Structure 1
Amino acid sequence: MSASRLPVAIERFLLSPISLLLVVAVAFVLNAWSLPLTDVDEGAFSEATREMMARGNLVSPTLNDAPRHDKPILIYWAQAASVSLLGVSEIGFRLPSIVFAVLWMLALYRFCLRHADRRTAQVAALVMGLSLAVGFIAKAAISDALLNLFIALSMFGIYDVFCADRDGKPTRRLLFYTYAMLGLGFLTKGPVAVFFPLVVSGLFFISAGAWRSWLRAIFFWPGWLLFLAIVVPWHVAVFLDQGDAFFRGFYLKHNVNRYANTFEGHGGKWYYYLVVAPFVLMPFFGWLLAVGGKVLRQIRRSPLGTVRGDGLFERFLVLWFIVVFAFFSSSGTQLPHYLLYGCTPVFILLALYRPEFERRWLAYLPLILFALLLAALPEILAVAASKTSKPFEKFLLDGLALAFSDSARWLLPLFAVAAVVFAVWRSLPVWQGLVLAGLLQALVVSAVIAPRAISVTQGPIREAAQVARAAGGTVVAWRIIMPSFSVYRQAATPTRVPVEGELVLTRTDRQPEVQALLAPGLQMRNLYQKSFVTLARVEREMRP
């Protein structure tokens, strides 16, 4: 094949269903069945599901036998259904997120088909699947893929209601559908799943001069009845099971207080998402920089939109992103994946305004810098390991430096070389090169970085749990929060000072601290020790 025809073949591939299947396989599925569960989140969700099934209580999740009020029930039910089929395993807990991410991609594709065209739908789905943060949550046993699915479906329903009402078509079915998605989103993560659709829809309908339509939709009482029919039964059941503990723990602590205060040192800075956004959207952040001004000018200056002829489609998408970005930028607690609630419209905008040959270096610069950072990662880890003096950090960094001292030293620089090649390949349209780079990035993360990093940070936990399970007896933890240990041991692990005959899981650097807390005449005998993890049995000292 001649060099001049290669971009045509690339475009044909990228616009085919095969490319989407490849994205799902690499970004969502690869190694999801084998990598250890990560802590804290994956371990916490998985152990709560396992305990819920073990106790036969499908109403009130617990974590290490203590009530867990972090999230409503829907994700636990989904994981329980998966585990009942696949068993207590990594893929058993992660499969729901993979499925929900695929459904999110499919919903995005169908929405773009309705309001744009097939090429835009295809590119939007590719961009979504290959964005760095989406790849992380798609194969993680947490609630975020499910929440993003329902937020997206709710927002898509809102825009469909707007278009149907403007065109004089019936909206009753669409309203029922939208309220159902709001209800399911509420059962996934509570008020946030309703807050954003209500605020964005209000701003959008009012800005479009359709405030009466918005009021009709908001006061559509059959829709609220459907919403309540979805949400209320479980809330009644959890109240009957444990009183108002969930309502105080979830709605007050994990919603009101989490927004007002910084939890667990997560963020609290107005500029947090300006720093985080490039990594969340990598390798497409430069693409956003290249077309962002054009999108805003289109909305502000031109009476003609790219899709429906009036710019309202773009306005809806931009408002969706801005509301999410502004809300979490002012929040006391900030985490990178929160920004994803507002990234679905970004994926669509990038597809609508996909650059061909313009502003090439601006589009590629963030990717090249990121790829160079990854290329230097083995050396960065080695230097950091040599300079730290804290025992816990020393254990981790030494392990990571060793893990990345193998073939990663030349595999990661190859990704940087590929990024530069795509940038200088001037006959290759910008959007195509960035999507190809996204495929390589997903492969590098799933097959090179994640296996090495997770084997160091989580491998010892899984191995220690297997030793503890074989040894039997009571196991407790001391000043180490690794709920995946309980998943692999298939038993809850309370946190307290151990007594004679019990096993204790602790950090290696905290072993002397545990010894000092033991009753006189007791000592710790290590059953397993690797990196930062120690599992020991508390025994009576042998006297000569």
Structure 2
Amino acid sequence: MSLVRSLFDRLVATPWVLVLAVGLAFFWQLGSVPLYDLDEGAFTEATREMLASGNWITPQMNGEPRYDKPILIYWLQAASATALGFNEFALRLPSALAAALWVLVVWRFVRERLDPTAATVAALAMVLSLQVSLIAKAAVADALLNLFIALTFFEIYRYWLAPRTAPLWRAYLWMALGFLTKGPVAIFFPVLVSLMFFWSTGHLERWWRALFAPVGWLIFVAVAGPWYLAIFLDNGPGFFASFFLDHNVGRFGDAMHGHGGFPGYYFVILPLILLPFTGWFIRILPTLRHAWSDPLERFLWLWFGTVFVVFSFSGTKLPHYLLYGAVPLFILMARHRELLVSRWLAYAPPIFFLVLLLWLPEIVALAAGQAERAHEIALLGEGARVLDLGYRLAVIAGLLATLGLALAAPVRPWQGLVLAGLIQTLVVYGALVPRVFEVMQGPVKEAGLLARELDRPTVVYRTSMPSFSVYRDAVTLKRPPEAGDLVFLRVDRLPSLIEGHPALTVTTLYQRGAVALVELKAGAADG
């Protein structure tokens, strides 16, 4: 047993295991599933229209300005698609690369502040956690933003340790790039957390000097300013009113796009996004009592706690928002890894998750029996079809392997959880995600490719699935349908379309799952 433990001690200390984990969690299956709506569809359609129009200043979606996010992620996706072709892999590659750099930045900081083994362990826990791997594989802005947020916070801590100008100027650079990625959030949390940290350690005067450093703001304006000036010249004040007021202030005050949640939302979500390391996180919570006496731990807990509290009071709640403050948890887990001695606490969360995945076909079947709306019935019916024997066997294999780790593996619990993370990654991205995306987005892709082949005037009817336009390779308008149009819509909207156009014949060209592509012709259908 001691020989096996010694082997694992050496294994988790080598960065090559981390390279393997990054390849598996971030790059494996990267281009194998369709883009999901709304987020990936919206980002990539804006990128497609940028390439088609040559307008590299104002993102547009379906011919209208898209003021949701700043420009940097669109530029990176456009560059990747230009080099590799306009496909799912190329569009997601900037996120995967940003996530890999994010991991490298965390590894380097922990190695610098703690030790090489802690650095590799923190990075492994981060890579193999469920939510981090999800955003690493998504063609959205969040992996890139998290990279810049982590870089900013680490430079702030280095500046606190030694008030030199180099880390301070770099912090302004990373905030500027984050501001070009997702806006004020890249400034808000670093400024707020650093204020509390410097004040609590008796260095408030140094914080004020850093906040009003002229060279720092010159760097920030030089990096972020040109695009913000250019979009103002291109669009006037419309972008600033929509982006800053609606999509930033508005998100805090109200639930946007139906993404609301109850006050304890993140207490429920946090254990899920940390899977399979939920028990490990629970075990480090008692260390909070003594964290104030250690500057690094004080900084890390302030970072996490501020993000948790702020978003708990936000009107709009999404799971990935917590990742802005999750890096400290991975570092703390690595630092206190030897405190995790209870195998039950360590392995219960991943085992429960895999049991839930094993019962997913029954859950879907039960939900299908309760569904009433046409698109929900269609989705759940497709779900029941794809969650087949192959899916069950993959989940059972993962469950048995994890149970074996819990019951018999002669390794420390935290080491076993790293292996459980690899198992979870294989099951989620090898068995679950391809089937989920086949049900939810496969029909959208097929409908878009058919519409592209038919090359007819096409509109979308009371449906928001922008990836259809990506696969159609054209803007899809939302004007009222008319004779001669192809119409893309959700299947539950079909009766409304027919009733609203009694003088037209509606012919279904494609229907699978929750969506359909129909043709409108002059003249009412017989009968």
TM-score (norm 2): 0.97
Deviation by residue 1:437-492 (Cα, 9 ceiling, x = unmatched):
00111111111000000001000011011110110121100011111111111101
Residue 501 (str. 1) matches residue 499 (str. 2):
no
> For each residue in 1:243-295, what CA deviation from the matched residue of structure 2 results, as whole angstroms up to 9, or x when unmatched?
111101100000111101111221242200001001111111110111221x2
Alpha-carbon distance between aligned partners in 2 of 1:530 and 1:117, rounded to the nearest angstrom: 54
1:246 aligns with one of 220, 224, 239: 239
Which secondary structure does the structure 1 equivalent of 2:257 belong to?
coil
Partner of 2:109: 111
1:173 is aligned to 2:166: yes
Indicate conservation of the 8 Å contact 2:459/2:479, yes or no: yes
Shift of 1:160: 0.6
8 Å Cα contact 2:373-2:492 kept in structure 1: no
Which residues in structure 2 correspond to 1:244-323 (within 5 Å)? Answer: 244-293=237-286, 295-300=287-292, 311-323=294-306
Instruction: Write the letter of the residue equivalent to 1:538.
Output: L
Distance 1:205 1:419 in 2: 43
* Aligned residue number for residue 523 of structure 1: 505
1:8 aligns with 2:6: yes
Aligned to 1:150: 148
* 3-state SS of 1:505 partner: strand
Deviations along 1:417-444, one digit per CA (max 9) or x if unpaired, are: 2222222236310110111000111111
Secondary structure of 2:519 counterpart: strand
Structure 1: state its 5+ residue gaps: 166-170, 304-310
Give the whole-Å Cα distance in 1 for the aligned partners of 2:409 and 2:96.
Answer: 36
Is the 1:26–1:446 Cα contact (8 Å) retained in structure 2? Answer: no
Asked if 1:409 is matched to 2:386, the reply is: no
Give the letter aligned to residue 498 of structure 1: P
Secondary structure of the residue that 1:5 maps to in structure 2?
A: helix
Q: Distance in 1 between matches of 2:401 and 2:295?
A: 38
Shift of the alpha carbon at 1:4? 5.0
Q: Which residue of 1 aligns with 2:87?
A: 89
Equivalent residues of 1:325, 1:342 under 8 A apart: yes
| Kept in 2: contact 1:356–1:431 (CA 8 A) | no
Which amino acid is 1:229 matched to?
A
After the TM superposition, which of the residue ranges 111-120 and 379-388 deviates more from structure 2?
379-388
Amino acid in structure 2 at the alignment position of 1:430:
P
Q: Secondary structure at the match of 2:459?
A: strand
CA contact (8 A) 2:51 2:78 kept: yes
Q: Which moved more, 1:447-456 or 1:364-373?
A: 364-373
Partner of 1:373: 356
**How far 1:501 moved relative to its partner?**
0.8
Deviations along 1:498-535, one digit per CA (max 9) or x if unpaired, are 111110001122212111222x5311112111111110
What does 1:51-62 correspond to in 2, within 5 Å?
51-62=49-60
Residue aligned with 1:534, SS: strand
Matched, 1:432 2:415: yes
User: Aligned residue pairs: how many?
Assistant: 526
Question: What does the per-residue CA deviation read over 1:22-81, in whole Å, with 9 as the maximum and x for residues that have no partner?
Answer: 211211111111210011000000000110111110000111111101001111111111
State the match for 2:378 in structure 1: 395
Contact 1:291 1:355 in 2 (8 A): no
Moved over 4 A (4+): none
Q: Is the 8 A contact 1:154 1:178 kept in 2?
A: yes
Indicate the residue corresponding to 1:204 in structure 2: 197
1:513 matched residue in structure 2 = 496
- Distance between the aligned counterparts of 1:151 and 1:541, measured in 2? 58
Change (3 A) 1:253 1:542: closer
CA contact (8 A) 1:43 1:487 kept: yes
- Counting only pairs closer than 5 Å after superposition, residues 323-362 of structure 1 correspond to structure 2 as 323-355=306-338, 358-362=341-345
Further displaced range: 453-462 or 209-218: 209-218
- C-alpha distance 447-426 of structure 1, shift in aligned 2 (>3 A): closer
> Which residue in 2 is equivalent to 1:128?
126
Alpha-carbon shift at residue 357 of structure 1 (Å): 5.6
Q: Is the 1:288–1:363 contact (alpha carbons within 8 Å) kept by the matching residues of 2?
A: no
Contact 1:154–1:182 (Cα < 8 Å) also in 2: yes
TM-score (norm 1): 0.94
Q: CA deviation at 1:163?
A: 0.9
Percent of paired sites with the same residue:
47
Structure 2 residue aligned with 1:195 = 188
Q: Distance in 2 between matches of 1:252 and 1:229?
A: 24
Moved more, 401-410 or 52-61: 401-410
Secondary structure of the equivalent of 2:207? helix
Secondary structure at 2:37's aligned position in 1?
A: coil
State the partner residue of 1:76. 74
Which amino acid in 2 is paired with 1:194? I
Moved more, 356-365 or 254-263: 356-365
2: CA distance, partners of 1:543 / 1:136? 46
Residue aligning to 1:448: 431
- Output the amino acid matched with 2:102: W
- Contact (CA 8 Å) 1:356, 1:430: kept in 2 or not? no
1:173 partner amino acid? A
After TM superposition, give the deviation of residue 389 of structure 1 in Å: 2.7
User: What amino acid is the match of 1:218?
Assistant: L
Per-residue CA distance 1:139-190 (angstroms, 9 max, x = gap):
100000000000000000000101113xxxxx11111111000111111111
Task: Supply the AA of the counterpart residue of 1:231.
Answer: A
| Secondary structure of 1:267's aligned partner | coil
| SS in structure 1 of the partner of residue 511 of structure 2 | strand
Q: Which consecutive residues of structure 2, in runs of 5 or more, have no partner in the other structure?
A: none
Separation of aligned partners in 2, 1:448 and 1:543: 44
Query: How far apart, CA to CA, are the structure 1 residues paired with 2:430 and 2:136?
Result: 15
Query: Following the alignment from structure 1 to structure 2, what is the Cα–Cα distance between the partners of residues 232 and 427?
Result: 56
Secondary structure (helix, strand or coil) at the match of 2:338 reads coil
Kindly indicate whether the alpha-carbon contact (under 8 Å) linking 2:280 and 2:340 is maintained by their aligned counterparts in 1: no
* Cα pair 1:378 1:401 within 8 Å, conserved: yes
Equivalent in 223, 230, 251 of residue 216 of structure 2: 223
CA RMSD after TM alignment: 1.5
The answer on 1:233 being equivalent to 2:234 is no
Gap change, CA 1:297 and 1:427, over 3 Å in 2 = farther
Q: CA deviation at 1:235?
A: 1.0
- What amino acid maps onto 1:254 in structure 2? H
SS in structure 2 at match of 1:69:
coil
CA distance, structure 1, for counterparts of residue 340 and residue 28 of structure 2? 32
